[in-house]
Amino acid sequence: MLGFGADRLRADMNRLLALLFHQGVLDEQFLQLQQLQDETSPNFVSEVVTIYFRESEKLLTNLRELLSDRDFSDYKKMGIHLNHFMGSSSSIGAKRVKNVCVAFRAASEQNNRLGCFRALELLEHEYCYLKNKLHEFLQMEQQRIMGAGARYPIQN
């Protein structure tokens, strides 16, 4: 019976969210995003998160390229990327990623190259974890929607 599957999915989704909240990976801003989703914008969360993934990966690539350069000294540029990353992370409720950005930026302000390397590794790790979990969440959401009679357009 579809109903049973949908309930189970919802329970799993809630459990996943609860875990992510407990771990401090997400904060209440993510709930705010969910509140912005309705019949007029039924894939809002998925759309925003997808944009966030795309932008974040570009930022991480830029950061790694900057730091890999032996003659690197453009900490200001690094700060700009980090500000951007901090902002978008806080906009979707990605609390831990945002906090690592804050520490990363502190290291860059002190021109601490080694500190920056460490922060970048941590950032990549946190981002990777967040991405996997959000991906899981969105897949369950998609299944739930489809199970509900494909009322919503299927998102590729």
- Quick check: 146 and 4 in contact, CB under 8 A? no
Q: Is 38 in the site for other proteins (CB under 8 A)?
A: yes
Q: Which is nearer to other proteins, 95 or 119 (CB)?
A: 95
Instruction: Report DSSP letters for 32-46, one per residue.
Output: HHHHT-BTTBTTHHH
Structure tokens, 15: 């459990």
Q: Is 36 in the site for other proteins (CB under 8 A)?
A: yes
Q: How far apart are CA 138 and CA 2, in angstroms?
A: 19
Q: Is 39 in the site for other proteins (CB under 8 A)?
A: no
Q: Is 83 in the site for other proteins (CB under 8 A)?
A: yes
| Closest CB 89 distance from other proteins, rounded Å | 9
- Quick check: 152 and 122 in contact, CB under 8 A? no
Binding site for other proteins (CB under 8 A): 29, 32-33, 35-36, 38, 41, 44, 47-48, 51-52, 55, 79-80, 83-84, 86-88, 90-93, 109
